[in-house]
Structure 1
Amino acid sequence: MTVGIIGLGLIGGSLAKAFRREEGITVLGWDADPSITEFAQLAQAIHGPLTRENLPSLDLLLLATYPEAVVEHMEKLAPLLAKHTMVIDCAGTKEKVCQGVFPLAEQYGFRFLGGHPMAGTHNSGFKYSRADLFDGAPMVLVPPRFDDIRLLDEAKTLLKPVGFGRVSITTAEEHDKRIAFTSQMAHIVSNAYIKSPTARTHEGFSAGSYKDLTRVAWLNPDMWAELFLENRDNLLFELDTLMEHLAQYRAAIAGEDFPALRQLLEEGRRIKEEVDGR
């Protein structure tokens, strides 16, 4: 099997290293920074560079770039792909990507699924990539049709060397709605929370709660700003919902209303238990 990867940062580099674990898989890579492609080859994460000449040999092409870049790459590469090649993107939002690439796949005859590997770290870049990043992690796939079982089975087979755990199938719209809550909001809340002036004097007074809440404040501003704006409507809904709830807590505390505050806390505790268990 031959796998091509566009974008050799944390996600793309980790995908390359995961595929390199298995014998019989050739991994080709490309990054906008040629020095990263060279370093990835020296680090034996890839066998060689991905070029226009070897593009038709791919069984699987993965695009680990920003959403807008996925569409731009595919507009250029679509005419060069072989019909047997399966293409899966790994961007953090899906609507713009799928709207842009599904028509290209239909026009040129290759197979395309939107994808989102649900793993990462607060660090970015190839130097932080590792082969086991996705071991047991969820993978979300967005197919053009839900009744194409053969396509989904082939996608799962091609991705098997990466080590994903659960594979979820959804629509681009539903993906972006859920990811606004599960991922994007967590980054915004963490990033805003750390801006308190008290943060500079926390040492010696913080433990697990502080670490859990602030871990993803250390983010890639360019990437997350693009993802937030790509998912604007869903994210605004989650922000408005959060601010409405925070206002209720503030009112109860300001009014020294113990029964109201306790009820708010109990509601949150109960919902957490319902959705995630103890």
Structure 2
Amino acid sequence: MTLLLEPFSYSYMLNAMWVSALVGGVCAFLSAYLMLKGWSLIGDALSHSIVPGVAGAYMLGLPFSIGAFFSGGLAAAAMLFLNQRTKLKEDAIIGLIFSSFFGLGLFMISLKPTAVSIQTIVLGNILAITPEDTLQLAIIGFVSLSLLLLKWKDLMVVFFDENHARSIGLKPNLLKIMFFTLLSASTVAAMQTVGAFLVICMVVTPGATAYLLTDRFSRLLWIAVTIGSITSFIGAYVSYFLDGATGGIIVVLQTLVFLSVFLAAPKHGLLAARRKAAVALREVQQ
């Protein structure tokens, strides 16, 4: 029992666990909307689009979160602009922005590789965050969560039907800008937890898992947030004993939860689908 409680005796582990849980919950909240709209790849695009911002911040000696947020916000604005001003499909726009920003980031890193911590960008380092970083992540998490709780119904209407949203007095463009701003900020926060390459899991997997468990969006939100927060907390806790990358452990846990739900979900799971198919076949044969 003493061994199991040991992580709670270290301040850096307490910071890592509660910050991971907060960031995981916010990312999961956003993932529900990405699943609703079919924009899962946008999370992937943003996670790679922050690489040039991080590289630039390291080169200039600035906090990398500033560069990452600027780069992520610029990528989100570019995607919205191209979506509204061109006839390109969303998948083409996402691919264009993703490859362009990521290529720019790799080019910047190649110019001055010693100035950029590749491991920090790729894997994150939640166990070594400073008090300043902790405060920054806490602010991002609480502000994002507060805005999402206040505007979740408006965002739901916008993501379901923009024309209906306009007819009832909502401003879809303004709400989408707010959503992508929060997504960019949360991506920056998640990068410190799991790294740039694994952020996509935190902004997709909880929503995808919850999608298999319920057909009601309000319930989907809370299931996703619960999964995101608990798996992130446990992942940070378990990393103390395994001495492994915290981000990788969190992602593996979320994937295991998804696979379990995919197999055993009472309505949309694989086993349930096979049972329905077997029942339908027997009815036809009779």
Same fold per TM (> 0.5)?
no
Higher RCO (Cα < 8 Å, 6 or more apart)? 2
Structure 1 or 2: larger strand share?
1
Max Rg structure: 1
TM, length-normalised to structure 1: 0.26
